Amino acid sequence: MSTIAENSATVLERIAAASRTAGRDPATVGLLAVSKTKPAAALREAAAAGLRDFGENYLQEALDKQPALADLPLVWHFIGPIQSNKTRAIASHFDWVHSVDRLKIAQRLAEQRPPERGPLNICLQVNVSGEASKSGCHPDELPALATAVSQLPNLRLRGLMAIPEATDDPASQRAAFARLRTLSETLNLNLDTLSMGMSQDLEAAIAEGATWVRVGTALFGARDYGVASST
Ligand SMILES: *Cc1c(COP(=O)(O)O)cnc(C)c1O
């Protein structure tokens, strides 16, 4: 087995164990392989190990890799910060966007989504840790944003996403993920998606209801940002 295949088996075991502990069906927790900075060959290896959903943060890097993988039935998720001038390409080349945090971006994605590709799946990114430096809308702004986005054409509002402040304390991890779950429940919009949990904290996220865990390092190894595109 390749290292990526071994890592994938290990991550799937972690997801299964955390799901059992939480009394959840592991099939309700999707594994999103976060492949930023990794070459197309690494994604191909992950696909051979059975992974299908890939998350990318940098648009140009993703657009460079996608043609090399066009023979595979992959599902592409955009998970990075979004500048207005990138929305047209994101709307055309991705199946999901997890990182929408303002209405203007959602409106542009709705206008620019090619209708023949079907609705673009959207998660609203929420800042649940209150750090000024992190992206995501403020929890107080979420109800109005969610209502507005849910009414846009060519988009399907699926749920919420968060990247809480990193901490080793499982109780603090769970508290942040619980905040996202509670926010989702209070919206009353029939959302079915909570995108939360990464290599370090996926167990806590699954305990609080994650339906996508976004895992990079535990699948592909540490990242070398020296080779990454910044766009
Ligand atoms: C990089 C990244 C991840 C993966 O983080 P790891 O700690 O490597 O698992 C998940 N989500 C987002 C939004 C990321 O940018």
In a domain, 228, yes or no: no
The Cα 87–Cα 58 span in angstroms is 12
Q: What is the pLDDT of residue 132?
A: 60
Q: Answer whether residue 141 is part of any domain.
A: yes
Ligand 1 centroid – CA 199 distance (Å): 7
The tens digit of pLDDT for each residue in 161-185 reads 999 999 999 999 999 999 999 999 9
The pLDDT value recorded for residue 133 is: 56
* CATH number of 189's domain: 3.20.20.10
Can you tell me the distance from the alpha carbon of 99 to that of 119, in angstroms, rounded to the nearest whole number? 16
200 CB contacts (<8 Å, ≥6 apart)? Answer: 166, 168
Q: Does the global pTM surpass 0.85?
A: yes
Residues with CB under 6 A from ligand 1: 34, 36, 57, 79, 163, 198-200, 214-218
List of residues 6+ apart from 136 with CB closer than 8 A = 101, 125, 126, 127, 128, 161, 162, 163
Q: Is residue 115 a part of any domain in this protein?
A: yes
Question: Is 230 inside any structural domain?
Answer: no
Whether residue 229 lies inside any domain: the answer is no
Residue 84 lies in a domain: yes
Query: How much is the average pLDDT of 196-220?
Result: 98
Residue pair 162/184 in contact (Cβ under 8 Å)? The answer is: no
Counting atoms of ligand 1 from 1, which one is nearest the CA of 32? 10
Contact 123, 161 (CB under 8 A): yes
Q: How many domains is the chain built from?
A: 1
* 225 belongs to a structural domain: no
Q: Provide the domain limits for residue 25.
A: 3-220
In a domain, 16, yes or no: yes
Answer whether residue 110 shows pLDDT above 70.
yes
